[in-house]
Amino acid sequence: MAAESEPGFDAILVRLREVVQKLESGDLSLEQSLAVYEEGVQLARKAQQQLASAEKRVEILVSAAGGVKTVPFDESNGT
């Protein structure tokens, strides 16, 4: 589980949207843009780690619930 000081997945998505809006506004200097971009990259990595952790937890729960075979999600056909 994430430490209480770490933002949750939903909070990360909200902040990422804010970062994108700031970058798209064109109102930032180059230095500010780089700092905001760096923050966005860090947030995206945290979100990716949280998703990977959640996926592992689901796989453990599914396998513990009856040995159901897990398969990777294929976005093209919804399985």
Whether residue 29 lies inside any domain: the answer is: yes
pLDDT band at 49 (very low <50, low <70, confident <90, very high): very high
> CA–CA separation, 71 vs 49, rounded Å?
19
For residue 38, the number of C-alpha atoms closer than 13 Å in the C-beta half-sphere is 6
Q: What is the pLDDT averaged over residues 8-24?
A: 96
Does a structural domain hold residue 32?
A: yes
Residue 79 reports pLDDT greater than 60: no
Q: Which amino acid is at 26?
A: G
pLDDT digits (tens, 9 = 90+) for 2-14: 456 788 999 999 9
Tell me if 18 is assigned to some domain: yes
Any domain includes 23: yes
> For residue 48, is it within any domain?
yes
Q: Which helix (H) or strand (E) holds 26?
A: none
User: Can you give the CATH number for the domain in which 46 is found?
Assistant: 1.10.287
Secondary structure tally for the chain: helices H, strands E: 2, 0
Q: Which domain holds residue 21?
A: 9-64
Give the number of domains in the chain.
1
Q: Which of 44, 35, 36, 41 is nearest to 18 (CA)?
A: 36
